[in-house]
Amino acid sequence: MTLVLFLCVSSLAALSPSIDWCLYFRIRNVYRPECKFYDTPPSWKRSREGATKLTNMKLPTCSPLYKHCTLNEKCRDGEKRCLDMTMFRECCAPWKRECPPPKWLNFECVVEKAADWCTKDGDCAATPSRLCCPSGCGFNICL
């Protein structure tokens, strides 16, 4: 009797639909920092001779707003795999953070006398990137 009950419960548990939370959020395109990165399956392409070969797909370059970086073979040497916070996608970023080009910041220069927010990276300890960058409007800003 106990064995029959155990078999019934275990078979019901096997039939119940359940999914890993990280997989659920990945399917919904919701990034969760507590979930590790999932690697996408390799893409295969047919060559002219009809043979199948692996094409190594590289990730796009990150915008200046990226976080949660790890090592990965999908990025070139000197780069790390990160999450682009503007597009919520995986991307490759250089190991050393760099200031973006001022045109990427898309500032409209409307001040007559500009005052720098910072003069060196050390002045930007409270910002995510901790970088002091030129704005393109005659003053520096913290990113």
Domain ranges of the chain: 19-96, 97-143
The strand pair at 43-46 and 52-55 is best described as antiparallel
Phi and psi for 79 in degrees, rounded to 5? Answer: -125, 160
What span, in angstroms and rounded, lies between the C-alpha atoms of 139 and 113?
A: 9
pTM above 0.85?
Answer: no
Bridge partners of residue 3, in order along the sequence = none
Give the confidence band of 35 by pLDDT, cuts at 50, 70, 90: low
Task: Give the model's pLDDT for residue 56.
Answer: 52
Of the candidate ranges 30-34, 68-72, 100-104, 106-110, the one whose mean pLDDT is the lowest: 30-34
What span, in angstroms and rounded, lies between the C-alpha atoms of 17 and 35?
A: 21
What span, in angstroms and rounded, lies between the C-alpha atoms of 87 and 35?
A: 18
Average pLDDT, the chain: 71
Give alpha helix (H) positions in the chain.
Answer: 2-15, 21-27, 102-105
Task: Give the model's pLDDT for residue 4.
Answer: 45
What span, in angstroms and rounded, lies between the C-alpha atoms of 19 and 27?
A: 11
pLDDT tens digits for range 50-75: 444 444 567 888 877 778 888 878 88
Residue at 102: amino acid letter: P
Q: Which of 101, 100, 81, 99 has the alpha carbon at shortest distance from 91?
A: 81
pLDDT at position 89 over 60? yes
pLDDT at position 129 over 80? no
DSSP state at residue 9: H
**What percent of the chain lies above the pLDDT cut of 70?**
62
pLDDT at position 49 over 80? no
